[in-house]
Amino acid sequence: MDREATLLRQLAERPDDRALRLVFADWLLEQGDERGEVIALWARGGLSLTERRRVAKITAAHGAQWLGPLAPLADLHRTRFVGGFVEDLVCAPARSDFKHPAGTPDRFASLAEEPRLATVRSLTVPAAQSPAQLGGFLSSPRLARLQRLELGSTDWQELILNPPLATPLAPPRVVVGSWGAFHKELAPLAGVKLFQQAKALGLATTEFINPLVVAEIHEAVLSQHRALMGFEEMMLAARYVVFEGAADWLLACDLERRATGTVFPRLLRWGVESGEVIFTRSREPGGPFDHLTIDLSLPEQGEKRMTSMKPNAEVRIATAAAVLVQLGPARLTSVVVKLAEGGRLRSQERHTLYAAARRSGSLEHFSIIGEAAVLP
């Protein structure tokens, strides 16, 4: 076995071993491979903006090569690397050709022992690929690090009659994808063991979320709540979310508690995610959803984070402030804003968010991670 294969096999056994990653980086640098530079920089931490841009540039140029045998599976535009290793593997639909007929499980089955899977934290299976055909792949011990599994709504239902797992796979976060508003997709999932083992639920729906769509989704969720009662977190995700839609969803957790009290007895976090901002309301057990986190540290193509906010920061700040204003009835006591590592807000942006947060009339704490400022 050659040196690269040996190191990859060792990394598959200890994917978070920093020393072993640096050994791999040194060997790659000896071969003139820029991936070694990426691994070494990320392991060191505290990267400057210039270094982060360098990492992103190298990753964009060579990511497909780093995937090795996994490359034919991947949607390269959505698959994401962190520190030179694949972390979010988004599988593309199978090509309809002689070698890879659409829907065949063969392209997955042969990769169940691929060591590069050991760093994967998030896996998205394409809607056209039946998960019931992927038993060997989804139950691979190489996926022991998996934190998030996303399937289409119809795909999850297949697992009721065709459970594919030879050994239990229990990622803490599962994501149900749908092109609609989940009118009938959720209730059958009460029979899917893999789904019920998770603690966090993602609802990935149409690309554009407005108040009308939010109302439909909320109604569908409440009508099928028996399948969702065990979750501690529920996150609505879409590529584009108008601020009115985001605010309506964030206020919906108050509506269900006032109306029924115990629809989601274990729910502690309720949020909405878009390509601009992630909002999460949270609470202590038995208490109100009075804490809000606004996450502005959004993923950058190629690597997870950039050290400063992206050029459309003004749009994100305006969106966050508009949502905060709409959340006045939520009676928030705490608002925390998260920036990308090394990110900074201008004084006016900080003031805009603070002023919007105070609209709740009950604010006790406002802070910006990296620029903490607790109210007296």
User: Which one-letter amino acid corresponds to residue 63?
Assistant: G
Mean pLDDT over 231-249 rounds to 93
Average pLDDT over residues 218-246: 91
Q: Is the pLDDT of residue 87 over 50?
A: yes
Domain hosting residue 344, numbered range: 290-376
Q: What DSSP assignment string belongs to 258-311? A: HHTS-SSTT--EEEEE-SS-EEEEE--TTS---EEEEE----BTTBS--SS--T
Average pLDDT (277-302) is 84
86 domain-assigned:
no
Highest mean pLDDT among 46-55, 160-169, 240-249: 240-249
Q: Is residue 20 part of a domain?
A: no
Model pLDDT, residue 201: 95
The answer to whether residue 369 scores a pLDDT higher than 80 is yes
284: in domain: no
Q: Bigger pLDDT: 168 or 59? A: 59
Q: According to the model, what pLDDT value does residue 108 have?
A: 84
The per-residue pLDDT for 188 is: 86
Q: Quick one: pLDDT at residue 139?
A: 82
- The answer as to whether 347 is a domain residue is yes
Return the pLDDT at 109. 82
Q: Is residue 359 part of a domain?
A: yes
Q: Which sign does the torsion angle of CA 283, 368, 88, 137 carry?
A: negative
* Residue range 302-323: mean pLDDT, rounded: 64
Residue 300 has pLDDT above 50, yes or no: no
What is the side-by-side order of every strand in the sheet holding 334-338?
A: 80-82, 85-90, 122-124, 148-152, 173-177, 200-204, 233-237, 269-273, 278-282, 291-295, 334-338, 365-368
Which of 61, 69, 24 lies closest to 42 in space, CA to CA?
A: 24
Report pLDDT for 164. Answer: 61
The pLDDT of residue 163 is 65
Number of domain units in the chain: 1
- pTM listed for this prediction: 0.82
Assess if residue 362 is contained within a domain.
Answer: yes
- Report in angstroms the alpha-carbon separations of 82 from 37, 40, 55, 65, 113: 13, 12, 9, 15, 21
Q: What pLDDT does 272 receive?
A: 96
Q: Indicate if the pLDDT at residue 156 is higher than 50.
A: yes
Residue 310 has pLDDT above 50, yes or no: no
Q: What are 89-139's pLDDT values in tens digits?
A: 998 876 544 344 444 556 788 898 999 999 999 999 876 667 767 777 888
In a domain, 16, yes or no: no
Q: Return mean pLDDT, the chain.
A: 84
Q: Does 261 have pLDDT greater than 60?
A: no
Q: What angle do CA 189, 194, 196 make, to 5 degrees?
A: 55
Cross-strand partners of 237: 204, 273
Whether residue 8 is predicted with pLDDT greater than 70 in this model: the reply is yes
Whether 306 is covered by a domain: the verdict is yes
Span of 51-60, 104-113, 145-154, 269-278 with lowest mean pLDDT: 104-113
